[in-house]
Amino acid sequence: MDDRRGLSRARVVARRLDRTPDLGALAAATTADVVWLDSGLPDGAPDTGRERAAWSVLALTDGPFATRFRHEDRRAVLEVPPAAERWFGVSRTEDRRAFAVLGDLLERTPVLDAPVPGCGFALGWVGFLGYELGRESDGPDRTADGHADADLRFVDRAVVVHADGRAWALALVGEDEPTAGAANRAWLEDPHGSRTRGAAPDATTGLPAVATGRVPRAAYEASVEDCRTEIREGNAFQVCLTTAFAVGTVGREARVGPGTDPHLDEYLRVRRADPVPFGAYLRLGPLRVASRSPERFLRVDAAGTVVAEPIKGTRRRDPDPARDAVVRAGLATSAKDRAENVMIVDLLRNDLLRTAVPGSVHVERLCAVETYASVHQLVSTVSAVLPEGVSRAAVVHAAFPPGSMTGAPKRSATAIADRLEGAPRGVYSGVIGYFSADGSVDLSVAIRTLVTVLDGRGVERSRSFGAGGAVTWSSTAADEADEVETKTRSVLGALGATLSW
């Protein structure tokens, strides 16, 4: 504990659960906001992915210390309950940059020991940082459309589950707030909740929808050629060009009640079809985020080792095993995909070196092929060591947005992509995960992600799915468009959605 902050009397209490909880049922049982960091792997996945998929976290926002930080319209909004004011101050609005506010909040957060061996989560801040926060790192000057650029919650209640089924309930208690501590101790006695003992959410229903491209396929292919022109003229080496698809159930009433969350039901359908190490379901105010990401942005352990695992290079799997083996081998030997991946590895090495100990940045794995339920992907691993005391917000800021979603050089590539895309990306291309109170961080890249915004009456206002790919000089427009379709179908296909592009 850190006595300098006067926070030594706060601690995490962990209770081992006697059965494996259904995290989907727990998420559905509450009308409060939730962040579910949902890890899994398909059968036959490589051992290299086991560590990434070891733990799932369901973070609950209905505890007495639960605090909200969102950054919207370039302003920071903090909603702080009385029990947490001694740490985070009173509720307020500030005209400050998001990463500066985040750095202050992490500095004020009570230092807590991780109570479960092997699990890097000791309660703390969970949620997302959207792509448009890249403007704070000389990126395009935009804000998200219809929702906040960031929404993080300090959570004092969570359930963590290991891949082998072991599970714990975690709660924050503090002697200086005995009433709040008593409420959390009472919650620990029944974290499953009596109301969740009925049927689990129905994961078999859903509304078939049409996913309509923001621009026609021909327009996307023309933008690929524009990227190649920029590359030929020396303005970039690689540009991550994206687009978005509107998913057509807009106007559906989607109110949340006990045991009722239609967007969660849809997420459960997708997760059954496509296990990934960095799945996530977020219910944050009017926002619903369903992510099936296979990609880690950054992981920092409590001791200060940081790891990035960029993905570049994707192939759709073939149902025939022999043909699928050929597809996998083709990805492994593709000069274009390898070049894409290596460029982003170099970019990440530079990003990490901004805050790491000089000489500590190493490439642990280069262009390894990993196989998931619907795709094969090229994955690399870059690691570094951080100096003692370095701000975790500064580490993330230095590498933000994720290089795999920008291109290289980052500033030039993002400017080119922004001009061609002509719209903000929002949650998509940002990051999802946690800043733990023990100093650990684990963030995924928000790809394969469906984002829904509700209006004040609980009616769907918009639903969008972003997809894109890295354009290099050797790219062909048709192949890049095919990759967009592959990524989109890998998620929306499980919902029965058809593509109109």
In sequence order, the 6+-apart residues with CB closer than 8 A to the CB of 326 are 318
Of 41-55, 160-174, 442-456, the one with minimum mean pLDDT is 41-55
The residue from 132, 266, 312, 483 that is catalytic is 312
**Cβ atoms of residues 124 and 155 within 8 Å:** yes
Asked if 339 and 474 count as a contact pair (C-beta separation under 8 A), the reply is yes
Q: With a cut of 70, say whether residue 134 has pLDDT above it.
A: yes
Q: What domains are there in the chain, each with its CATH number? A: 3-194+209-500 (3.60.120.10)
Of the pLDDT bands very low, low, confident and very high (cuts 50, 70, 90), residue 174 is confident
Average pLDDT, the chain: 91
108 three-state secondary structure: helix
Answer yes or no: is pLDDT of 206 > 80. Answer: no
**Residue 40 confidence (pLDDT):** 87
CA–CA distance from 355 to each of 163, 305, 387, 395 (Å)?
Answer: 32, 12, 8, 6
pLDDT of residue 193: 66
End-to-end CA distance of the chain, in Å?
A: 55
pLDDT band at 6 (very low <50, low <70, confident <90, very high): very low
What digits encode the pLDDT tens for the residues 235-294?
Answer: 999 999 999 999 986 566 666 655 578 899 999 999 988 888 999 999 999 999 999 999
* Side chain identity at residue 153, one-letter code: R
Structure tokens at 193: 């909740």
Q: What is the pTM of this model?
A: 0.94
E strands present in 141-262:
150-155, 157-162, 167-174, 210-213, 238-247
Per-residue confidence (pLDDT) for residue 411, from 0 to 100: 96
Report the relative pairing of strands 55-60 and 157-162 from DSSP bridges.
Answer: antiparallel
Active site annotation includes 312: yes
Distance CA 66, CA 397 (A): 24
**How much is the pLDDT for 274?**
81
* 160 φ, ψ (degrees, to nearest 5): -115, 140
**pLDDT at residue 202, as a whole number:** 45
483 flagged as catalytic? no
56-106 pLDDT, tens digit per residue, is 999 999 999 999 999 999 999 999 999 999 999 999 999 999 999 999 999
Distance of CA 475 to the CA centre of its chain: 28
The residue among 316 and 230 whose pLDDT is bigger is 230
User: Residue 314 to residues 338, 370, 378, 501: CA-CA distances in angstroms?
Assistant: 11, 10, 7, 20
> What's the half-sphere exposure (Cβ side, CA atoms, 13 Å) at 53?
22
**Confidence at residue 49, expressed as pLDDT on a 0 to 100 scale:** 58
Tens digits of residue pLDDT in 405-450: 999 999 999 999 999 999 999 999 999 999 999 999 999 999 999 9
Catalytic residue, chosen from 221, 295, 340, 483, is: 295
Place of tokens 């400050």: 96
11 vs 46, residue with greater confidence: 11
Per cent of the chain over pLDDT 70 is 91
- The predicted-structure confidence for 462-489, as pLDDT tens digits, reads as follows 999 999 999 999 999 999 999 999 889 9
